[in-house]
Structure formats: structure tokens, C-alpha cells
Structure 1
Amino acid sequence: MPVRRWSLPLLVTLLATSAGSLAAAGAPAQPAGQLTTAWHDGALRTDPAGLVSRSDLVQEGPAWRAYQAMPLGNGVLGAAVWAEKGFSAQLNRVDTFPGLKSAGRLVVPGLQPLMRASDYTGRLAMYDGQLVQRGGGMSARSYVRADADQFVLEVTGADPGKSQTADLKLWEGRTPTANATGAVASLAETFRDTASGSLTGAVAALTARARDVSTSVVDPLTVRITFRPNADGSFRLVVGVPSYKGGDVATAARRAVVESKSQHLDWWHAFWAKAAPMRITSADGTGEYVENLRTLQLYTMAASMRSPVPSTHGAVVRMFSSAKDQADWAQDSYWHFNLRMIISTNLGAGIGEFNAPYFRFYLDRADLMKKWTHDHWIGAVGTCVPEFLRYDGTGDGCDNMSEPGWVKRILSSGPELVNNVWWQYRYTGDRALLDRAYPLIRDIAEFHLAALTPGEDGYLHLEHVNALEVQWDTDDPAPDLAAMRVIFPIVADLASSRGDEALAARLRTAVGKLPPFRTVQRGGEEVLAWSGTDEEAHNTQNPEMEVLWPWGLFDETSELMQATYRQRVYPQDKDWGMDTTWAARLGLADEVKRLMLKGIQDFQIFPNGFTVHRTGREPVRQQSFYNEWGGVLTTGLQEALVQSYDGVVQVAPAWPSEWDVAGSVEIEGGHRISTEVRDGVPSLVGIQAGSRESLRVRNPWSGQQVRVIDSRGRTVVGPVADDVLTVPVLPNESYVVERVAVPLSSFTHVRLTGQPASAVKTVGTRMLGVPASEPPMLSDLVTVRTPDKLSNLVKAQPGAEIYVDRSYKITDLPTALTGQAMIPGSNEDSKLTAPADYITMDLTAPATVYVAYDPRGENDWWPAWLSTFTRTGETVGTTDQRLILFKREVPVGQLALGPNSGIAGKGNSSYLTFVTKP
């Protein structure tokens, strides 16, 4: 079987910081044909501010809808910011278990003039970790401090004589303590977990740096601060959101808003100076779009991964939610499968420190996982890491006492954790992590040794376990066989170094007795099987492809692996699929590009770059921002540019020829490999060595004479035309691999930089950034009190969206309604029969109120309250359903309209409401 020889440094991942580069945007024009490079004096010389700003998310108009919200965060506290009600920011901590409840929403209506200004501009400025908006002579700068759990809003250009308000709000179902003391208003709430008894919580405390500040409790769910801007028209709002487990609310709130000298910009600038750069250009703009997504992924890691626990639950990054307390999946638990691509992304990008929450989460729960294993696995020795693990250390997995299920018997998560610890050590040199993790590493190995059963064929078999979530109760899953082949030698060496020769011997013996991978026929080709048996599929993963990544046991020369890839059963149908990385490891450059662009179209439905879990989704209906596909794309990009998992460094082994790139990738040993690729051909290869060793580097220009020079211009290797070069390197030294015919000296240095993004980017139907759109309508006639989700009025006209949770639009409507105020519907409520006052509104003058109803409910589920309206004989056309129009004359004051349906369990499209003057 053509299996690539295993070596301990193994694996693939890349990090980066050096490389030749395209002539930078804004740099002086170079003479035709002149070669340029950003590699200079031993490093890739970049302008991080200019380079990162290429990927800023531009707001050509305000983000009026919650799904357009921009993410801000410091790794513990996150904010989703959009323009509803003037300015809205939902605040979320990463640790309010078990439900990760929001700390509240900040609403500042006084920013309406800015948002509605004809000269409005906005951008998520990632280099500074800020959202900056301007318009109408005003500016608003918002950010979550990198060095404190505080959200800050700084405003200039406000009318100094006009009083302003800012509210902190929660919503129905929440039970906070509301407090207003002096210049600080706050909401505080704690959460007791009935399963574990743990207590978590948060206080959100609001104050203003302004004049005449006062506070009040508006209602049990709302507190308000009232103030006048400073004499120069500026004011500053600070919302402190620390962890809170009870006690005096006023004291906790006062402490939460104390401000120290901010290190916010210094922190973000240092982050970008360290992260591996990558600049991509292309004729069709797709390369720039992909670069933007990678930059966003690195930004998201810095903004979300600095807590004792990871920020991603089942791929949902809850701390950036704008959907109140709603989210997909279990927010108190983690699936290991949805974290793996984040680990590889961070290592390859040179920001491995942001993997710390992942390692802390599992290591802090090592004893709890061991107890779980012995309580739920008959015959257990050591520790099994559950695929699904709750924050309190209890799991759903590693269980052979109950019937097989989704995660009950997935055993590959533990070996993958071992491998990730090893990667982290090899990339970063973090010996303390390796030493701390060794007891758990040893216990995971012991569990797998004990779980193996000798067979009559002389092999050791893993029986009655899962192949990921795909096959239940199968034998010898491909991921598990690959995992043991990889980690047993690693753990054996670690055990030997600690004097445990008995364990080392058992592991080395066992790895030699593992059965070969089974093959089957699929699509007329011999391919790897999912496992040793043919159990039915329950999920759409590709277990057999795991042997390529993360386990690295095959390479592009394997015909069996190439066929397995071609015939995989589920090609990238979920956002977790590592297809781009598999394609990169198989040298399939065209596939890398195709799959990335397909993934953008399938998953990246939000203008902030976040994604959804599967195809066929629309943003207005989704309530969770997914983060894992950003890790999938970034890992794939890094693998396409630099690979080293088999012990040989390959440059641009699968880089799409239509994309020119200048960038860096970090590899095992802490080395940074930098290159520039034009038309599919690297120019130079720079090496910044992180440790002492001899690197094996494949000749990037097959058959051509090359040499390796150090930073002082001395020849280290060559000239040779060998396929693989052996390059001795020393830590903190730099080297260049160059063609003899095109040496470094023939290049002109041009620093790698860029110009700030100036427009929304698009690929197909997807976009990054917020286009200009119709704002919510302001009416002097009607205000909606309840429900809050229908409180934004819509200007009735063709093209206007009719529901808050669907993307259907008006196609035509009577002239009398055109340009009037419409209260949109909510199709989630299409079968509601209560409350009787479903919509309540205030009318400042007598009005004509119209309701447009789904004709499918006539003589069936139409509610009784509709009989108080008169049929007009007209209709409203929509892309969903043509609706029948009714009207009623109503007096000044409050009006209540009932629910959509009059019969429980029945109802179709929800009604629309229009309000006009008589």
C-alpha cells in the first residue's frame, strides 16, 4: 500500500511572515519587466496597516439589519454592532454558561442623523479593531477594549445643546436586576446550572463621559442614561461587562466602568505585526476576496480566542451574536470536530497562542474526562476524550454501555487532541504545554491500547466503535487506524524520554500490529473504505479522507488517495469539510480554487464574512454566525502555499495559477517560509529559521540550478539541481532559496502594503461589506410598541422586504399604499393564535389601517378579529403569495391587532400591515 513514511514533525500547517511580493498598491510604478520582492534584509518587509486595511469591511450604507452586524471583541467579551434604532450593540461574554446568555443590548437613538446622512461611510477597520462610521458631520468609533472587558462608543459632532439617551435592554424571558445609581445604570443577572450546580453571570454597566449625566430604571428589562454632549459635541459611552456571580449590583457596576489607560491600539497593532501576511491578487477579484476571508479569520481569532474556554460551539461563534439569546446547537458544549480547523489555521498563520483556550478546556477537565470514561466504558483503562464535551466536564460520547449513536463511540477525538498538543509544541516550542499535557496524553494512549482486541488474523482490531458520526458500531474506522499509526510512535518517544519504557514498548509493538486500511470499489475505482465494515451512513462526513488530513499518511503520489478523493461520497456539502486541504495535499490547484469559490457561494451568506452550516440558507432566516469554514478556507490556503507535513518543505504545491500571492506560512520547528508566486511560479523562497535543524526543501523550480544563501550573502547550499535540498539552519537566522539564473540581487525591494478597501467586495451573489439600502421608515403617524421585532417600519414599495424572517419582497401594490408605512410580518408567527394584542401601535392622528392576508386561510384559519376590517377588492403582490387587502378607519390612540391565525396549528404566510392618513 502506497503509504507515505511517517515522521514525527509530520502534519501540515503553515505559518508565515516572509516572501517576495507583488509591487504594492500605492508603491511607485516599476519599469516594465523589472522584478520586485518584499524580501529584504532577511525578512518579508510589510506595512501591516496598509496590508490589513485591504480587507476592511466597507459599509456603503449602515447595517440596518441584525444579520449585517459587525463583530468586535477582546477574546472574552464580544459585540455585534448594527444601526437599528440609531445604533445597536449586543454584548455577549464567552462564559455565561450554560446558555451563554447575552449581557444586553446598547441602543443609542441619537445617532440616527449620522446613520441616515447622505454622506454616510463606515468600515470595520481590522488593523485597529474598531468600527468607524461617519456622516452628517458626526463620527462614531466603537470597539471592545483589547485590555479590558469594556465596550466603548466615542462620538463627535453631536449637537451640544440637545439631550441624548442611551439604553441597556434585555428581552422577554430574562430576569435581571436593574439598577441606576449616580451616573451608572446597569443590568445584572446570574445563571445557575442545574446539572453541575455552577454559577455564572454578567453585569452590564453603562456610563457616559459627557455633561449632566443622570440614570433611571425604565422597566425591569431596561435602564437608561440621559446626558448632554460635551461643549465640543463629543461624548463617550462606556459599557463594562465583567463576570458577575452575585453581590451588590451598584458596586459591581461602578467598578465595571472604571477606565485605565487604554492599550487597545498597541495590542491590535502588535497582533498584526506578528501574524503571517498574505496578499492575493487576481484579474477577476476572486483572489482578493479569498484574502479578505483569511484576514477576517485571523481577526476573528484575535477577537474571540483569549478565554479559558474556546469561543466556538458546534462552529457557532456565539460572542458575536446579534440574535438575542437564540443560537444553534448546545451552547454549553463543544464538538471537537468543529474546533480542529481553528487549531491548524492558527499554527499556520503564526498565531498559535490563540489555541490556548482549546488546550486549557481539555486539560482543565482531564480528571473529569477520566472519571466519565470509567463510568461509561466497560473495560476502560486511561482516558477517552468525548467528541461532545460539556463545559462542566460531562460528555455525550465514550460510552459503550448504551446503544450506539451520533457521538457515543467516536474515539478519534482523543488521539487528535494528542496530535494537536504535539503540533503546538513542534510549531511553538511550548515545552510547558507538552509537560502539562503528558499525563493526559499517556492516559489517552492507554485507553486505545486497552480498547484493541487481538484477532485471529494476527492484527489488533478496534471493534464496535464509530467512524466519526457517519458509521455507528463499526470496526477499524479509517480515522482511528490512522490516528493510532501517528500518535503511538509520538507517545512512545515521549514515554521513553520520561523513563516509561514499558509503555513505549507496548505502543511500538501495537503500531506494528494494526490492520491495513481496507479498500473497496467506488465509481469503478479502488478506494479507501470508511472502516472495516459496511454500516450505513448517518452523517455526511468522509472518514476515509482523514488519513490524508489531519493524519498525513498519504501524499500526492498515491493513486489510491487520488482515487479516494475523486470518489468521496460527500464532496464539501457542509462547512466543516476539509476538501480544500485534501485537494492541496494532493497537488490539485484547480480544485483548491474551485472548492473555495464554491464554499463562498454555499456557506458565506453574511456580509460580515461569517457562514452557515449547510447550503440553501438565507441570512434573514439564520440566527447563528458560524466560524469554522473560515478555518477550513484558511487552512486550505496555507496548505496550498506551503506544505511540510511529510518532512519535506514544498512551496506552492497547489497554488492556483490565476492568483498571484505574496505571503508566509509557519511550519514545524517555528520556521517561517515566505514566497511570492506569479502565474503559478515562485520567485524566491525566504526562510526565517525558528530552531536548529536541517530542513529538506523541494526545489521549487524542478530541474533548474538553485542555491541557498544566508542573510550575509554566503552560499549555504549549491549551486545544485537536486529535487530535494538539505538546508542546515540556525535559529533566528534567515536564508533565501534562489534560482542561479534569477538571483535575489536581480530583484528590487518593494515593501508589501496596500490601500484601504473602498467598496463592498462581491463574488457571485456573495458579498463582504454592507451595501447601501433603504433605511427603516420614520413616521410621524405610527409607532409600533410590540412586538419589538416588528418595530422597524418599512417604506411600502416594490422591492421592499415584507417579513423580518424571510426574504420575500413586494412586487406590486395599490397606489394608495405606495410610499406609506408598512409594519412587516414574521413568518415564524404564522400559526400563532395568541396573544389577542399581537401587534400594538400608537397613532398620533386618525388613520386608515390596512392588513394584507393570505387567501389560503379564507373560510379556514382566518382569525375573528379580521371581521372588523372591510375587504377592499385590491391585492398586494409579493414574491411569496398574492395577498388580499382589508382596511379599517381608526381613531388617534393605541390600536391592537390580533395574531395571524384563528385555529391552533393552522396558518400560512403572516399578514402585513399598512398605516396611512385618511
Structure 2
Amino acid sequence: MRRGRLSILIACAAVTAAMVAPIAPAGAAPPPTTAWRHGALQTDPRGVVSRSDLVLQSPPWQNHQSMPLGNGRLGAAVWSEDGLTAQLNRSDTLPDLKSAGQLVVPGLFPLMSAADYRGRLGLYDADLEQRGGGMTASARVRAGADQFVLDVTGADPNRTQTADLKLWQGRSPVTYASGGVAALAETFHDDPSGTTSGAITAVTADGRQVHASVTGDLTVHLTFKPRQDGRFRIVVGVPAYKGGDVASAARAAVRGGFDAGADASHLRWWHRFWNDAAPMEISSPDGTGEYLENLRATQLYMSAASMRSSVPSSHGGVTSLFSPWRDDIHWSAANWWHFNLRQPVYTNLGAGTAALNTPYFRLYLDRLAKMQKWTAEHWPGAEGVCVPEFLRFDGTAGSCDSGMAPDWVNRILSTGPEVVANLWSQYRYTGDRALLDAGYPLMSGVARFYLSVLRPGDDGYLHLQHVNALEVQWDTTDPTPDLAAMRTIFPIVAGLADQHGDHDLAERLRQAVAKLPPFRTTTRGGQPVLAWSGTDEAAHNTQDPDLEALWPWGRYGADSSLMQSTFTNRVYVQTREWASDSVWAARLGRASDMKNLLVQGTSDFQIFPNGFAAHSRNSDPVRGGGYYDGWGAVVASALQESLVQSYEGTVRVAPAWPADWNATGAVQIPGGHRVSVETRGGTPSLVGVQAGSTDTLKIQNPWPGQRIQVVDGDCACGRPVVAATTAAQITLPVKRGASYLLERTAQPYSSFTFGELGGQPADKVKTLGQRTLGVAHSIPQINSDLVTVEQPDKLHALVRAAVGAPVYVDRGYTVTDLPGALDGATMIRGANDDSKLTEPADYLTFDLTRPATVYVAFDTRGEGSWWPGWPADQGFTRTDMTVQTSDRPLAVFKKTVPAGQVRLGPNSGVSGQGGSSYVTFVTG
């Protein structure tokens, strides 16, 4: 037996080694290539991943251009303001997710201002490197420790460097400084749950003459000199903190900060992550494929950098772990909407990164007892557990309350089944039986809840009444998402119930499935379509409940004319960043729609150069509002679904892949199998299967009507596993750990030449229409020897007045025409959020080192209306100059002032009124 097996392996090896395409006649097309060899795609992970690096052609001067770093518990948003600013956030400072503070390193201003500046967020190493003026700065959040590390080379060894940790008004930290360590510490108490959270932020440096001090109630300060070779390291430790001795906590926070072993551990974690993730490389004539490939890679990076805590870091779709906006959190920081968690879960399954779903499952499993108690108290007569669409971190299930009127989230019941289905999918993809067993109490509890709230009707069916169809219909009957959910999870839970000896529940579920009403249909666009529910309540939100039956529930597929017409005539088309339209298009085999929806959605939502999106179409990135992660997950899910699908028991290869996109990639499917596909010109060339379990796969012929066969994928030497056939579908028995290769007999593996899947690091900012990945341009901050802004702090970053300069710190409007007298002036931008303020009298305070002329430009709409009186009171005179902006014209007032402090008043003189905030220019 051994000799026979050895002979086969030698023969296979010989064929593989000799695999050379026949010599082609002159002028013939070159032989096709494949990256498949030795049972897998042969991949250079660094090369593939680095194609998606975020290139910084300009420093990210503004906070909305910040680059994200994280380890799943600690996150940093890094941008160039004041040299280098890094806002540090933890995922567990509940209930409000307050930031741990900002680190500011002014000594890096020469690097950021250098003419030869160049930067890169390297995804493979999870490292932000910036170079310029002979200096380098490399930043990371360590994968294995809650520490932000900044390494600098090329600094002047004789120049004192500083680092500040600071908070802002409204915060009450304990400050600490001793020797070479400074810290801010603060705790937060949640009255409803009685819990306490918090963080300590401690800073130290590896340099000479390191000294720490407290410089105010909200700021601590570090001074030091670099090493003689111009190197220094700043370490900021940000562990969780619930009170206690600040000194010992601060020292512990930075312990090991200079350990090279921790740096190596960081790289090992990230390299292992990328080595295990399913690769995908796309090329296209118009660059859309490459851009969307980069968005998928960025999404995987963001998930790995944010989803490794005990709970998901995304709230309502906002990944607050990377926020640069101080404590401004969009939506409720203490609660999770399940609808915004669904896409990343699905993405991780297909990408082979299912371990990143752990916080999602812990969110619900760890709070099961509290949700059960809530259900018993707030849904009288119900059994089991109602899993709320809107769940508070303490387990309060406020949107499961039959005594309250239906609203946006109250009485959405389909959340529970989705958690059940995702637990089952996680098991099917990973084989994690321990998770499935741990999840069974929740899974059975959700099923029991549904059984207890179904009511028999005169038609003989069991009906679900007075519940919501997502956020769209309130107080409706038989929502399509719930009918699809019950048809899906009842058989799953019944099978598990039998395994757990709960035969009565299993029988009840099987009987209930047979009594569920059929999906209701209606007519739109003259065609029959699936209805949202059994009734016709008006819409409150822009979701499409009818298409939930397609995905995530898989009750219909591409062969359903009803579902095709439902998609074509859907009421709402991709209205928000969470919209699943492109995933539905992929599931229906609509390649053109899938591509167009991804391109349009990216144009509509992906407004930030780090790849994050906004909630609504064409939002202003300067206004902030949060970094939304939903769109990146939609893109990744749609690409994976288009390349490989597995539903209704059948694997489909490239069912919705655009003909003008070439791709080499892999997708994980249930059973833990990894299916690799290489497709060129709209046609797959080879399909490989790495079996994750012993199973039987049904695979749709990737080349309809053509003769195909399956051979041993480990050596690809032609040894048949499934004999040649032209059948529309093949049955492939697979064994765990083995590999298989699907090929056309007319173009077998032996006709291909080998080429490893790799790539070169991105060397420029990627663009798709007006959207970018990376920073192409940013108006630089200037260090003025004339002006220093004292308050408000948000206006302290100065810019040079010029056409194209930003007018406000919180809006994206720019200067479009500037009087010559103001060209090149020092510009103190306005804050439009303060446009209606009528106090304080010293709203804007700045210092002048020498006499100067101060110009104040007001929104012309305010003349005779809400303009304040302080310009006249202070002796400002109106000029005939006007500053034109992309917002509106501004009338200019001027005054010559001596050196010293200047105090200017608020924007408005009438309470509740005001337009665009004034802007200040200084020359002298």
C-alpha cells in the first residue's frame, strides 16, 4: 500500500514539475496562468494585501482624514494636526464611550510640512509610517497590548521634544506625573446598571532627560531629548481602569513599552491574520475592480483592528474606536442595533475571518439571562427569550415590550432568529461545536418565544400579529422577514432540540412549520412581487423587508422569477450605507446590477479617505458624524457572494461576476471549505476546493454544457475524483484536509503555467470618481509667528488664506475668490456649529506678537438682522471687500490692532438667529 501510494505521489510530482504549456506558434496568445499548486492558491499575502495600503500623498491635516489603528480593544485615530495628533479610544468606556484623550506631538510638525512628505497605512503590518524632511514616524497600536507606540528617527538630538496628553471641557480626570510617566485617569458610572468603567491613559518616552509634569486640570506634559542617533519612542498605555491607585496603574500601563518582543508579537499576529484570510485580487480596465478590492481589504483590516473585545465596537454602524471627534458619538453609545451588525458577520464568514464574530456572539450569549428575565416581565404570556433589535450593554431589552406601542425598534422580532441563524452559520463554517452548544439555550429560547406568540387563525395557519416588519411597517401581521426566519430556524432548532433530548420542542417546531402562512404577494410595476408583510401599513424607514427572504434567509434564489421581479421593483434603492441591494443582486446572478450598485454606493457613501462611509448620501466629511463600517462590509459581502455562492445546497462559481473584471480569489463556504476561483474575461479558468470537513458538495458546472472533471488538487496530476461529464451539476464527496480541482477537459490544469498570486504595494491614492482611498490633498496647517489662538481650542489650527482654503473647521466649504489684500493672510477659520451663539463676549481670543490688521468676514445675510454689535463697538469698519466661498459671500470688516491679546465676540447678536459663522484674517 505504501509503495503504491508513493508511486502515485512521485508520478504526480513529476507531472507537476514538468507542467509546461506547449510551445505556441509565433503570434499565438500566451498560455493561461494559475496560482493553484500543491492543493491551494499559492499566495504572497504581503504582496496581495499591500495593494490596498492607504497612501498619503499629503499629510492628513484634518481630523476627518485620520488613519485608524487598533487591536480590537484600543483604537487610535491619527492625523497631522499640531505635528501629530492621535485620539485614543477604548471599546468599553460605557455607557457613553468617552475617549481616553488625545496625544499631541508638536516636534513632528517639520516632518508633516516637508516638501518630500510621504505616508502609508500598511495593512499587512498594521503600521502607519510617515516620512519627510529627513525624519520618519511609525505608529501602531500593539496587537497584544493596549499600547499606542510611536517610533521616530532623524530628530535633532539636541532639540527638546514634548508630548501632551489632553482632555477637554466637560471631563474630570485625575492627573498624575512622576519621573518619566504622566497620566490621565477617569471612571464613569452607569446608574441603571450600577456598573463602573473607565480608562487610564499614561505616557512615557524612550529618550534622554525624560520628565513628566501636570500642566492643568485636563493636560499632562512630557519633555525629553532624543537619543544621540536622533531616535525616540513614545509609548501611551491605555488599559481599562475602574479606580484605585493611579501611580501604580500608570506605571503598569506603559510597562513593556520598549520591549522589542512585543513589536515582534504585533507583527506575528497581523501576519497570521492575513495569511489565514481568504485573498481576493481584482483587475479591471476602468479601475473599479481594484478600488472595490481595496475596500474589501480595508474592511477586513478595520474588523481585525476593532472586533476583538468582549462586545462589538460598532454602535448603530459607527465604529467609535477610531473616532477623532472627541466624545461626539453618533447614535446611542450604550446600545447596539442588530441591523447594523449583520453585514460584518456575513463578511467574516465568507472571508475566513469568522473568529472576528466572537464579540457579536458574546454580546447576546453573555446577556441571555437578563434578556429572558426582561421577556418574562415585559411580554406577558410569552415563553423563552425575545432578542431585541436595540440592546443596551447591560442586557436591557427595551425594544421587546408588548405593553408599549410599536415604534422604530419596539416589536421587531426577527433579530432573535438572525442571531440563531448566525450561530448556526458560525458552526457550519468553523465546526465550533462548543459555540453551538453554548448557543443552544438562546436558540431554543428564541424558538420557544415565537411558538408562544403565534396565534391560530380561521384559515388554519399560525399568524404573527402586532409586530414590526423591521423599522418599515409598525404593528403589522406576518412580516416577510419573520416568516422567512421561522421557516429557516425552526427545522435547525428542532434538530438541535432532538440532540439535547428536548423532543417535545422539536415536535412542536416541526408541526408549526407546516402551519406557517405562505408569503403574501402583491403587484408593483405591473409584476407580481413579494409583499413586506400580510398587511399594508405605511412605511416609516427605507428598508426592503420583502427582499429579506432572499438574503439573509435564502428562501428564494436566482431561479425565482418572483424574487427577480421583487428586486427589480423594490421600493427603496440603496438609501443608506447598510443597504444590501448589491448582495441581493449578487444572489440573483445580476452581475451588472451588482457592479453598478457597488460603484454608486461607494460614490454616495464612502466619503472618508480611510475607507469608512457616512450614513447618508453625499454627506460632508468635515462635519464628521462618525465612521460607518456598514458599507465596507456590504462591498466585501457582495464581492464574495458574486465570486462563490453556497445556498440551497448548491455551490455556484462566479454566478454574478462582471465579465470585465478578472479575479483570483477564495471564499469560505459552509463546511469550512475554501473555494478558490480564477476567472478571466467573465469565464472561470480553474476552481479549487480545500475541504474543511468530510462532506458531500453539489457544485453547479462553472462551464455550462462543457465537459468537466474533478481531479486530485494536491498534486493536480490528472488523477480523477469525479469522471468527466457535461452534467449541469456534479456531486463531489470531499475529505477533511484534502484538495480538489475542477477543470475543463478541453483546458486541463496541465495546460496552465504557474504564477504566484501577489502584488506590489500601492504607490498612489486610489480614486473612484470623487472618492479616494488615501489622502491626495489637504490644506496644510501653518505655524504662525504672528498669531496664536487661545480659545476656542477648536479654532487653534491656522491655515494660509488662499483660493481653495477651508473656511470652517466643521464644514467642507472653501474659499472660491479672495481679495488681494487677504491673499496669504493668516486665517482663523469659523465654526458653523457656533453660528447662533450670542455669547461669550470673548468667544474668539488670540495673541499677536506684533501690530497687525485684523479682518472679520461676516455672512452677508445677517446685515440689518442678526449681525452682532461688537465689531462696531470695537472700532471695526466695513470695507468694500467680499470673500466668496462655496457656501456664500462674506462681507469684510477691518481694524488695525497693537501687539497683545485680541478678543472678538460671538457670531450673532440675536438669540436663536445666525447664519454661517464669521471668519478671521490677520496680516502684519
TM-score w.r.t. length of structure 1 = 0.96
Report the Cα offset of residue 621 of structure 1: 1.2
Aligned ranges for residues 438-587 of structure 1 at < 5 Å?
438-587=440-589
Deviation by residue 1:241-277 (Cα, 9 ceiling, x = unmatched)? 0000001111100000001521000111011000000
State the partner residue of 1:784: 789
Alignment RMSD, CA only?
Answer: 1.0
Residue 879 (structure 1) aligned to one of 886, 903, 912:
886
Cα-to-partner distance string for 1:870-918 (whole Å, 9 max, x where unaligned) = 112222222222221111111111111000011110111111111111x
Residues 75-154 of structure 1 mapped to structure 2, 5 A cutoff = 75-154=72-151
Query: How big is each residue's C-alpha offset from its partner over 1:273-318, in whole Å with a ceiling of 9 and x where there is no partner?
Result: 0000000001111110000000001101110111000011000000
- Please tell me whether residue 293 in structure 1 is matched to residue 295 in structure 2: yes
1:139 CA displacement: 0.3
User: Could you say if the C-alpha distance between residues 612 and 773 of structure 1 is closer, same or farther in structure 2, counting changes exceeding 3 Å?
Assistant: closer
The yes-or-no answer on 1:53 pairing with 2:50 is yes
Distance in 2 separating the partners of 1:777 and 1:425:
55
Q: Which residue of the partner structure matches residue 736 of structure 1?
A: 741
Residue 792 of structure 1 aligns with an amino acid whose one-letter code is A
1:364 is matched with: 366
In structure 1, what is the Cα distance between the partners aligned to 2:339 and 2:490? 21
Measured against aligned partners, the alpha-carbon deviations of 1:470-513 in whole angstroms (never above 9, x if no partner) come to 00000000000000000000000001111111111100000000
Distance 1:564 1:178 in 2: 60
Once structures 1 and 2 are overlaid, which stretch shifts more, 498-507 or 312-321? 498-507
Structure 1 segments, 4+ long, off by >3 Å, are: none
Matched pairs, number: 888
> 2: CA distance between counterparts of 1:857 and 1:680?
60
Return the letter of the residue paired with 2:792: P
Letter in 2 for 1:907: G
Three-state SS of the structure 2 residue aligned to 1:361 is: helix
Deviation at 1:181, TM superposition (A): 1.1
Partners of 2:778 and 2:695 lie apart in 1 by 57
Task: Tell me how far apart the structure 1 counterparts of residues 201 and 29 of structure 2 sit (CA, whole Å).
Answer: 59
Structure-2 residue corresponding to 1:395? 397
1:192-214 CA-to-partner distances (Å, cap 9, x unmatched) read 01211110000000000000000
**Paired residue for 1:17?**
none
* Matched position secondary structure for 2:724: strand
Contact 2:462 2:515 in 1 (8 A): yes
Alpha-carbon deviation of 1:778? 2.1
Match of 2:647, SS state, is coil
Question: Mean Cα displacement is larger for which, 655-664 or 808-817?
Answer: 808-817
Q: One-letter code of the match for 2:904?
A: L
Distance of 1:678 and 1:349 partners within structure 2: 21
Letter in 2 for 1:761: K
Decide whether the 8 Å contact of 2:73 with 2:306 is kept in 1.
yes
Cα distance in 2 for partners of 1:75, 1:321 equals 14
| 2:761 corresponds to 1:756 | yes
Q: Does 1:898 align with 2:909?
A: no
Q: Which has the higher contact order (CA 8 A, sep 6+)?
A: 1
Residue in structure 1 matched with residue 610 of structure 2 by the alignment: 608
Partner amino acid, structure 2, of 1:340: R
Deviation at 1:41, TM superposition (A): 0.7
**1:817 partnered with 2:829:** no
Which residue number in structure 2 is paired with residue 4 of structure 1? none
Which whole-Å CA distance do the structure 2 matches of 1:439 and 1:860 have between them?
65
Q: What amino acid is aligned across from residue 188 of structure 1 in structure 2?
A: A
Does residue 1:910 correspond to 2:923, yes or no?
no
Residue range with higher mean Cα deviation, 774-783 or 235-244 = 774-783
Aligned amino acid, residue 488 of structure 1: F
Q: Which amino acid aligns with 1:666?
A: Q
Q: Does the Cα contact within 8 Å between 2:62 and 2:778 map onto a contact in 1?
A: no
After superposition, the C-alpha distances for 1:645-685 in whole angstroms (9 at most, x for unaligned) are 11111100000111110000000000000010111100000
8 Å contact kept, 2:607–2:618: no
Q: What is the CA–CA distance in structure 1 between the aligned matches of 2:894 and 2:573, rounded to whole Å?
A: 52
Q: Which residue of 1 aligns with 2:750?
A: 745
Structure 1 distance, partners of 2:779, 2:676, is: 45
- Partner SS, residue 397 of structure 2: coil
Write the distance in 1 (CA, Å) between the matches of 2:119 and 2:861.
44
Paired AA for residue 87 in structure 2: Q
Local SS of the residue matching 2:626: coil
- Asked if 1:209 is matched to 2:206, the reply is yes
Cα distance per residue 1:385-444 (max 9 Å; x no partner): 000000000023111101111111000000110000000000000000000111111111
SS at match of 2:446: helix
Supply the distance in 1 between the matched residues of 2:132 and 2:528 (Cα, whole angstroms).
63
Which string of whole-angstrom CA distances, capped at 9 and with x for unpartnered residues, describes residues 111-160 of structure 1? 01111111111000000010011111100000000010000000000000
1:840 maps to what in 2? 845
Could you say which residue in structure 1 is the equivalent of 2:9?
A: none
> Secondary structure at 1:914's aligned position in 2?
strand
The CA distance in 2 between the partners of 1:383 and 1:664, in whole Å, is 38
Q: Which amino acid is the alignment partner of residue 785 of structure 2? A: D
CA distance in structure 1 between the aligned counterparts of 2:354 and 2:887, rounded to whole angstroms = 48
Q: Which residue of 2 aligns with 1:27?
A: none
Q: Identity over the aligned pairs, expressed in percent?
A: 61
Match of 2:169 in 1: 172
For residue 216 of structure 1, give the secondary structure of its aligned residue in structure 2: strand
Q: State the Cα distance separating 1:726 from its structure 2 match.
A: 0.5
Cα pair 2:483 2:516 within 8 Å, conserved: yes
Tell me the distance in 1 between the aligned counterparts of 2:599 and 2:447: 40
* CA distance in 2: counterparts of 1:778 and 1:90, whole angstroms: 21
Q: CA deviation at 1:31?
A: 8.8
1:49-99 CA-to-partner distances (Å, cap 9, x unmatched) read 111000000000100000000000001000000000000000000000000
Look up the match of 2:242.
245
1: CA distance, partners of 2:802 / 2:425: 57
SS of the aligned residue for 1:915 comes to strand
Following TM superposition, by how much is the alpha carbon of 1:859 offset from its aligned partner in structure 2, in angstroms? 2.2
Equivalence for 2:632: 630
Shift of 1:794: 1.6
The TM-score with structure 2 as length reference comes to: 0.95
Write the distance in 1 (CA, Å) between the matches of 2:745 and 2:888: 70
Residue 725 of structure 1: SS of its match in structure 2? strand
Structure 1 unaligned blocks of 5 or more = 1-29
Counterpart residue identity of residue 871, structure 1: R
In the other structure, the counterpart of 2:412 is 410
Give the aligned partner of residue 284 of structure 2: 282
Match of 1:23 in 2: none
- Give CA deviations for 1:154-197 in whole Å, capped at 9, x if unaligned: 00000000001000011111111111011100000000012111
Look up the match of 1:186: 183
The Cα of 1:236 is off from its aligned counterpart by 0.2
Task: Give secondary structure in 2 for the equivalent of 1:695.
Answer: strand
Q: What amino acid maps onto 1:546 in structure 2?
A: E
Give distance in 2, aligned partners of 1:715 and 1:467. 50
**2-side partners of 1:745 and 1:325: how far apart?**
60
**Partner AA of 2:69 in structure 1:** L
Q: Does the 8 A contact of 2:175 with 2:219 survive in 1?
A: yes
The 1-side partners of 2:293 and 2:861 are apart by 48
Find 2:703's aligned residue among 680, 701, 707: 701
Report SS of the residue matched to 1:669.
coil
Shift, 1:32, TM fit = 4.2
Unaligned runs of 5+ residues in structure 2 are: 1-26
The whole-number CA distance in structure 1 between the counterparts of 2:899 and 2:184 is: 35
